[in-house]
Each structure stands twice: as structure tokens, then as C-alpha cells.
Structure 1
Amino acid sequence: MDEQIDHLVQKTWDKFQDVPRSQRYLIAVSGIPGSGKTTLAAMVSKRLNDLHAKASPGTHNSSPLAAFVPMDGYHLSRAQLDAMPDPVSAHARRGAAFTFDGESFLALVKKLREPICPETGTLFAPSFDHAIKDPVADDIAIAPSIRLLIFEGNYLSLNKSPWKDAAEMMDELWFVEVPFEVARNRLIYRHVKAGIAGDEADAGKRADENDLVNGKEIIEGRLEVHELIKSKEDESVEIPILRIADPVDPTWS
């Protein structure tokens, strides 16, 4: 996996060298639930910061350059789901595209696309608190010095507004591919461990009736992307192996 992550990191680092100081470089990582996109985005962000620190040791430029922003914070709150016409269905389908605040995400991307100047202030994105099962507003700070943003989320390459509008403002779109059966196994493990489901049967039902239904929409409505990344099963359910798809044959597996 390290070799493949290094490829993405080095490619991004090289492209970033040509970005004017007044601009940011934005990458959106998407994939179906259980694909490994969170792992990928977090690792790329960390390694970009490591590269930056090595390039400017002992200077103020060694402060973080990259930030990882997950889309979990853009979940609608439980109170917002309660206010929907069919709250029972809304809660059952939490994680579907209509249960996210895509417009607020688009507004953040538009702000990040504005030129960085001396007056530019810190921007904020929401996070998600799994203990209370709700988003936390303004919990992820994006200082003016953060000029590499790695977003990750299910719908970041979805050909449907407002996700499509945000995708068109990205410098690159990456998509993590995974077989549905592999994703299902990971989701069952995750749902049981997080207490979302009481046992594997309940977790499998949730995966089949919600997560993988969303996954079908994500795949069928996917925009063209710059990188296709294959997520492979390994001995760990939590840390999938990620491999870059062959650029000549994007269906490589």
C-alpha cells in the first residue's frame, strides 16, 4: 500500500508546486461506503504534511499545509431528520444523499476557492461526533496557511447538484473502487463495533438496505475522475489495501 500512497502523494506534491500562493489545491476522494476512502484521504494528508515539514525544517513553513476534511460533518442532524415528512424512513436511510447538507458543503468549497489575501480569515467545517450521533458545527479549522485540502465522502463525484457543482470546483477527483461483498463485510464489522447494529444480522440488513443501496447510486451516477484506486481485501477489516488502477485498463482488479 505504501508504494501506491506514495504515488498519489508525490503526484499531488509536484502539481502543488505550480499553484500560486494565493490559491488552494482541492482534491475530493469518493467511493461507496466501506471502500477505504477515509483511510486513503487521511494518509495522503498526513504524508503531504510530512513532505512539507521536510522541505522547510525549522521554519514557520513547517506548520501544516494540508488538511483532511471528511463529509461526515455534513450529515443532517437527528432533529432535522425528525422534521422530514417521513422521519422513520429518513433515519433508516441516514447516509443517503438526501440526508446530507450538500449546499453547505458547496458554500465552503466556494469560500476556499476565493483568493488568499492578508485579510483572509480562518474557515470552519463541521465534524461528526459519533458519541452523540450528530454533527458538530465549526469544529474543523481551515487556516489561510492550509492550501491543500483532501475531502472525502460518498457523494463527492456524484453527477447531481449540489455535489456536481462542488466537484467541478475541485482540482482532482479520486474514486476508491471496492467489490460490494468486500465493502459489505467491512460495513458489518464497523456497524457492530460502533454499536449501530446489535449483531451481524442487523448489521448485514443495514448494509443491504441502506449502505449498498447508496453505493449503487454512487457508482451509477459517478462523474469522470482523475484517479481510480482499487481497494483490496487483506487480513485487517479496518485497514484495507489500496492500489492504483492501471491507467490503461481502469477495470483492472
Structure 2
Amino acid sequence: MDREQLVADAAALTPAPGGRFLLGIAGAPGAGKSTLAVRLVSELREHLGPDAAAYVPMDGFHLSNAQLDRLGLASRKGSAPSFDVWGYLALLRRLRTAAPAEPVYVPDYDRTLHEPVAARHLVTPETRLVVTEGNYLAAGAAGGPGWAEVRAQLDAVWFLATPDAVRDGRLLARQRAGGLDPAAARAWVDGNDHPNGELVKAHLAAGVRIVTLDAD
């Protein structure tokens, strides 16, 4: 499927002014979720207006490095327990119930700082389509406590299925860009990213649409 068709499909989900639809994009690490979500939002804003769509990354709810150290999860950063799932769930619920005049500020994850940062993104009162993305949006209860409740808040979920070899190359490049040497990058991808990916590929909640993209 080409990206233009996905933009058209997302536009078809966008309700009339005054409504709001929450679209989740799930997938294994390195699938291209954030790239697709950002493109959808950008294209919809161009065609439907600047407040038509907004980007809400699940990665903004990474636990800080200090909290990961406290919990013994530093070596499992990116796994389901390494996120503040309850904070993310509270944000999704807020996006459904926000007062008409209330803007909602959304955190992000900074790959230079290797930490979450507050209030990088904005959902305006006029936003009609919220595009959120993350590894575990389609995992349901298999992701652990809270993830089934996250799935229930989303009106639709697309699972971006990307070949493992493509994801592997992207993940290695990501870790190298983050400062790891080749051996350490390989160890991180094999010991952390790939197990996380196998979990999300193996457990897809009901009603999830599988999406594949044409090669660039």
C-alpha cells in the first residue's frame, strides 16, 4: 500500500468539526510508526486545515532514566514496563473529555537527551483526528497492566508490519546514532528491541488493521 492511500484513509476517519477520533499506529520497534504518524498529521493539516490533526507519541511516556535505574529496567528501556502506561492512559482519556476551550500539551521523547520532555506537542480544542503511535497499542493485555485499557480508548488501530530485516537495520543505525559502538548496538537490538518486537507481533488485539507500506 502506498502512503498516499493511507493519508486518504486517515482523512476519511476525520470527523466533522466538533468531533474527535483517536487513531493509534502500532508496530514493532523500528517499523516506522513515528515517521508514518508525522506524515499523516502533516498531510491532513495541509489538506484539511492546521487544527485538523495532532501527533501524540506514546514515547513521551518513557520513564526517566532515574526511574528506570530505580526499577532495575535500564537494560530493558522500551519494554512495556518501562513506560508510564497509566499516565498515557490518562492523557488519552483527557483527549476524549477535554473542555472545548482547553488545549492539551503532550510530552515527547528526545533521542539526543535520551529522556522524555514535557509539552513538545499540542492538541488544540479544534483538533479532530489525534494520531498516536507506539509499540504496545495493539498488544492488549499481553503488554501487561494498562495496555488493554489503552486499546479501549482508541477508535481504530493500524499495525504497521515492516520486514524484520528492514527494522533490524534501522534499529542498529538508531543505536549507533545514540552513541553505542557496533558491538554494543548489536547487543542492545538483539537483547531488547527484538524481544519487544516479537511480543507485539505475536499479540494483536481484535479489530486491528494490518498495514504494509511499499518500499521507498
Greater shift, 173-182 or 28-37, is seen at: 173-182
Q: Deviations over 1:92-114 (max 9, x none)?
A: 11000000001111101111111
The number of residues matched between the two structures is 213
Answer yes or no: is 1:34 the counterpart of 2:17.
Answer: no
Match of 2:150 among 147, 157, 166: 166
The within-5 A match list for 1:13-52 is 13-16=11-14, 19=15, 21-52=17-48
Query: What SS is found at the alignment partner of 1:113?
Result: helix
**Distance of aligned partners of 1:96 and 1:226 in 2 relative to their CA distance in 1, 3 Å threshold:** closer
The corresponding residue for 1:70 is 57
The corresponding residue for 1:224 is 206
Greater Cα radius of gyration, structure 1 or 2: 1
Answer yes or no: is 1:135 the counterpart of 2:122.
Answer: no
1:121, distance to aligned residue in structure 2 (A): 0.8
Q: Percent identity?
A: 31
The within-5 A match list for 1:47-196 is 47-52=43-48, 62-84=49-71, 87=72, 90-114=73-97, 116-117=99-100, 120-160=101-141, 161-195=145-179
Q: Which has the higher contact order (CA 8 A, sep 6+)?
A: 2
The corresponding residue for 1:202 is 184
> 2:110 & 2:32 partners in 1: Cα distance?
20
> 1:14 & 1:220 partners in 2: Cα distance?
29
Code of the residue aligned with 1:36 in structure 2: it is: G
The corresponding residue for 1:56 is none
Query: What SS is found at the alignment partner of 2:131?
Result: strand
> 2:43 & 2:50 partners in 1: Cα distance?
13
Code of the residue aligned with 1:103 in structure 2: it is: W
> 1:136 & 1:4 partners in 2: Cα distance?
32
Higher helix share: 2
**Contact conserved, 1:23 with 1:115, CA < 8 A, in 2?**
no
1:116, distance to aligned residue in structure 2 (A): 4.8
Q: Deviations over 1:101-142 (max 9, x none)?
A: 01111101111111653xx31112111222321111233221
1:194, distance to aligned residue in structure 2 (A): 2.5
> 1:206 & 1:115 partners in 2: Cα distance?
39
Gaps of 5+ in 2: none
Q: Deviations over 1:186-223 (max 9, x none)?
A: 2112211222x212x22111111000000111112221
> 1:193 & 1:139 partners in 2: Cα distance?
22
1:225, distance to aligned residue in structure 2 (A): 4.1
TM normalised by structure 2 equals 0.90
Code of the residue aligned with 1:207 in structure 2: it is: V
> 2:212 & 2:23 partners in 1: Cα distance?
17
TM normalised by structure 1 equals 0.78
> 1:210 & 1:226 partners in 2: Cα distance?
25
Q: Deviations over 1:63-107 (max 9, x none)?
A: 3321112222110001111221xx2xx111100000000111110
Gaps of 5+ in 1: 53-61, 235-240, 242-253
Aligned-CA RMSD value: 1.8
